Amino acid sequence: MRKKIVIQGINYDSNSSFMRGPAKAPDIIRQAFYSDSINAYTELGINVTQSEQLEFKDPIKPTDFYSDIFQSVDNIISDGKSLITLGGDHSISYPIIAAHAEHFDNINILQIDAHSDLYEDFEGNLHSHASPFARIMENKLAARLIQVGIRCLTPHQLEQSVKYGVEVVEMKDFHESKLPDLDGPLYISLDLDGLDPAFAPGVSHHEPGGLTTREVLSIIHNIDVPVIGADIVEYNPIRDHVGITAAVAAKFLKEIAGKMIKN
Ligand code: MN
Ligand code: MN
């Protein structure tokens, strides 16, 4: 039996280190997703918006960061559904993946990001959006963490990636044909600043020299293992121009949902 895919926003950006904005993202991505300017088909031929498998839920606004997010995700998965989350800053991936780890063994995480987000803490905040993958790895919530698009490793973050056995594909070495093989169940964590700011200006941290929209689409299209869940994070509407980054986020949402329906 095919499972429903819930799409839920998390209106939260209090763990951002530089600027606010991503808390306002989910509704804007949803509007772009349903815009009359695009049709309902993914590039692989799946009609997503007419699929009865998609269920948009109203965004949540956590007051207790960890437990509110964990509980909400756990309820959805316990219901036999899978989840794509619209962020929010990247800190939310820790409680989201923690809830997935209650239901799935040996999770592989594919993180697309300019930053490795492996800081032990950032300015004293253990839940900073610069630290979710340190929490995930120290709590052994994933069998593998594969990071793609990274282009500003500090010596500390490099140390952390060695300590936790993270497979880092730095942007300077990126080539689509050289990505590590995935062996699911796969969780996709897509930080929009992994893209070059030319393609996605609507993020808090502009880090030039990143992935193209097409490269990210190809990575998604070439996934041949079951995708158990995903998040699309760090969209900052305050920084966007004419909704271009919202359209990119909505496109990724459509293609990832199509993948989840198909695989
Ligand atoms: Mn980032
Ligand atoms: Mn990130």
Cα 166 to Cα 149: distance, rounded to the nearest angstrom: 14
Got the DSSP string for 3-52? PPEEEEEE---TT-SS---GGGHHHHHHHHHT-TTS-SB-TTS-B-TT-T
SS3 content of the chain, % helix, strand, coil (to 5): 35, 20, 45
Ordered domains of the chain (ranges, CATH): 5-262 (3.40.800.10)
**Distance from the CA of 159 to the center of ligand 2, in angstroms?**
18
**Packed helices 93-101 and 65-78: angle between N→C axes, nearest 10 degrees:** 40
Residues with CB under 5 A from ligand 2 (ion): 90, 113, 117, 191
pLDDT digit string (tens) for the chain, length 263 residues = 457 999 999 999 999 988 999 999 999 999 999 998 888 899 999 888 777 789 999 999 999 999 999 999 999 999 999 999 999 999 999 999 999 999 999 999 999 999 999 999 999 999 999 999 999 999 999 999 999 999 999 999 999 999 999 999 999 999 988 899 999 899 999 999 999 999 999 999 999 999 999 999 999 999 999 999 999 999 999 999 999 999 999 999 999 999 998 87
Which ligand has the shortest distance to the CA of 171? 1
**Distance from the CA of 90 to the center of ligand 2, in angstroms?**
5
**Distance from the CA of 209 to the center of ligand 1, in angstroms?**
13
